[in-house]
Amino acid sequence: MRSFLERPPLAQKSKVAIARGESYGEAERAVRRAVELLGGIGKICKRGDKVMIKPNMIYASKPEDAETTHPAVVKAVVKLCREAGASSVKLGEQTGWHCDPELSFTVTGLKEAALAAGADEVVNWDNDEYVTVDVPNPRSFARVMLPKSLMDADVIIHLPKMKTNAVQVATLGIKGWIGALHNRMRTFIHKNALDNGFSTTDVVKALGSKLKLTLIDGIEGMEGSGPHAGLVCHPKVIIASQDVVACNAVTCKVMGFHPLEIPATQVAMKDGVGTADLDEIEVLGERIEDVIYPFKRAVNQYVSRYPNVREFVGGACQGCFWTFPSLPPHVDPQKKYALVAGARALIGDDLGSYDEVHLIGICACAPSHQLPGFKERVGRAKRIVTHPYCPGYNTAVHHHEKAEAKGDVFEVPDLLLGDMCALWAVPDVTNQDKMDAALSRKENRQSLEDVRHAAEQYYGPELLASSRPALWPMTPLKEMAKWQDAVEGPEPAPTKITFVENSDGAGLRTATRALNGRAPSPGETAD
């Protein structure tokens, strides 16, 4: 079949190994088989090498949630590296925003498994020193900020989980590297799948030839609303390759997707990282057609579940419309709400009948980006709430920050990314427990005691007591700010609203609010 790229076929085929594993009791056998098919661990790790292994871990989820790489797989890979004579073997990862990495390493079982198998250290990348690494042939970033312990390694091994992703169809071998990127840079690449694909491919290019193996844990997987709130499924395979692009392509095929469906796979192939062309891939072990396991996809819910909350978009990225399920923070059934997102929001309704309009993202907050009449229409609403962040879902974090400071409507500190993952998908592809918990937090404004009780049920009182901040697996925002201050690199441009013309309606009200009640002067700016 003709390739999607106009280039001569590769001289040498990439190899991808597929091994079956019925359950995690067979994980070590399946991992060994996959690595043997690729030529053995000696091809990946030499005596004396320093090895860094990156699992897939975003929240403090238990292994049976199928959200993180299973500890049995990590154990098997650490053992193999030890047998190869590695001088040091470390496990490193950071979590999704606002999760406590230490608690996550414990609850997922990854720390215990790695150390039991002979790892020297488990490195919390949130606390690591970061180094700036040049990206060859860059797309989005000329340089990326990566953990020093990662870049000090001679051999890097990536162990993604086989799961769907609401941004990029599936996470797998390239998107997963977002986990190594410094928090400051991660913000910029959550607008949509394409931004994400270009940027994470840059991370893989920065790792270069150190990235020796991608081995995907598909003994159990997550389908539907991945990466956090999906359903457990049982593909029963380990898929491995030294070519991360080929590994993605074959795994996508096994999951019932097109091999090129993940944007990052296309970008990485075009940039010469590897091949996703099945004609250029030699599949070893099991045949693809014998292990195909069609995954339910992540299906975004584009409209609020509440009849009195209506959406208006135009030119909005995913990063803004993901916020829809989280806003307004509390829904009063007696009121009428509008959510507005995008750089060219199309508003056909008369917003004069709405009690509250939420302008989501810096695009919606800047009348100068909008079509004529925007300001007047929005200005007729009884109340306007601005969320001037990009991407717009950072607004949830912002609300949380305010809640920390003065006990605002987000008494519950967990209506954040985890809840958004559960709420931005249609119910039949979402883990109902996670969706119910997220809705309960949103609708009932649980007390801190309720949250503590729920957390104790999940983690147990002892583990909870030993965690930081001892209530929920989150890193306080103030601490995040400290990391950001500590890292060298270009400052992100501050978000500003510029007050143009004048005037009446939305512009004036937005400006006045941003200035704490004082009317703005023409041309004045504020954060």
Q: Which residues bind ligand SF4 (CB under 6 A)?
A: 191, 316-317, 319-320, 342-343, 361-363, 390-392
Half-sphere exposure of 456 (CA within 13 A, CB side): 9
Q: Residue 123, class by beta-carbon neighbours within 10 Å (0-12 exposed, 13-18 middle, 19+ buried)?
A: buried
Specify the residue, 123 or 366, whose C-beta has the smaller distance to ligand SF4: 366
Q: Which residue, 160 or 361, is less far from ligand SF4 as judged by CB?
A: 361
Q: How far apart are CA 243 and CA 525, in angstroms?
A: 49
Residue 320 Cβ vs ligand SF4, minimum distance, rounded to whole Å? 3
Judged by beta carbon, residue 23 or residue 495, the one nearer ligand SF4 is: 495
Q: In the 3-class helix/strand/coil scheme, how is 34-80 assigned residue by residue?
A: HHHHCCCHHHCCCCCCEEEEEECCCCCCCHHHCCCCCHHHHHHHHHH
The greatest distance separating any two alpha carbons of the chain, rounded to the nearest whole angstrom, comes to 72
Whether residue 389 contacts residue 398, with contact meaning beta carbons closer than 8 Å, is answered with yes
Least distance (Å) from ligand SF4 to the CB of residue 396?
13
Concatenating the DSSP letter of every residue in 311-377 gives EEESS--HHHHTTGGG-SSS--TTS-EEEEESTT----S-GGG-SEEEEEHHHHH-GGGSPTTHHHH
Question: Residue type for 500, please?
Answer: V
- State which residue, 188 or 293, has the beta carbon closest to ligand SF4: 188
Beta carbon nearer to ligand SF4, 197 or 319: 319
CB 195, min distance to ligand SF4, A: 9
Give least dist CB 512 to ligand SF4, A.
Answer: 22
Cβ 183 to ligand SF4 shortest distance, Å: 17
**Closer by beta carbon to ligand SF4, 110 or else 514:** 514
Pairing between β-strand 237-241 and β-strand 14-20 as defined by DSSP bridges: antiparallel
Q: Rounded to the nearest whole angstrom, what is the least distance from the CB of residue 192 to ligand SF4 in the complex? A: 7
Tell me the CB-side half-sphere exposure of residue 399, using CA atoms within 13 A.
26
Find the shortest distance in angstroms from Cβ 393 to ligand SF4: 8
Closest CA to 190 of 446, 134, 198, 33: 198
Q: Closer CB to ligand SF4, residue 233 or residue 340?
A: 340
Query: What are the φ/ψ torsions at residue 276 (nearest 5 degrees)?
Result: -110, 10
Our CB check for ligand SF4 shows the closer of 231 and 506 to be: 506
**Contact between residue 215 and residue 159 where contact means Cβ atoms under 8 Å apart:** yes
Residue 158 and residue 211 in contact, taking contact as beta carbons nearer than 8 Å: yes
Question: Cβ of residue 400: shortest distance to ligand SF4, in angstroms?
Answer: 19
User: CA-CA distance, 379 to 385, in Å (whole number)?
Assistant: 11
Amino acid at 456: E
For the bound state, the minimum distance from the C-beta of residue 364 to ligand SF4, rounded and expressed in Å, comes to: 7
Residues 6+ apart with CB under 8 A from 260: 4, 249, 252, 266, 269, 276
- Distance in Å, CB of 326 to ligand SF4, minimum: 14
Query: Which among 331, 330, 322, 333 is positioned nearest to 361, based on CA atoms?
Result: 322
Is the Cβ of residue 239 or residue 327 nearer to ligand SF4 in the bound state? Answer: 327
Q: Decide whether 115 or 371 has the Cβ nearer to ligand SF4.
A: 371
Residue nearest to ligand SF4 (CB): 361
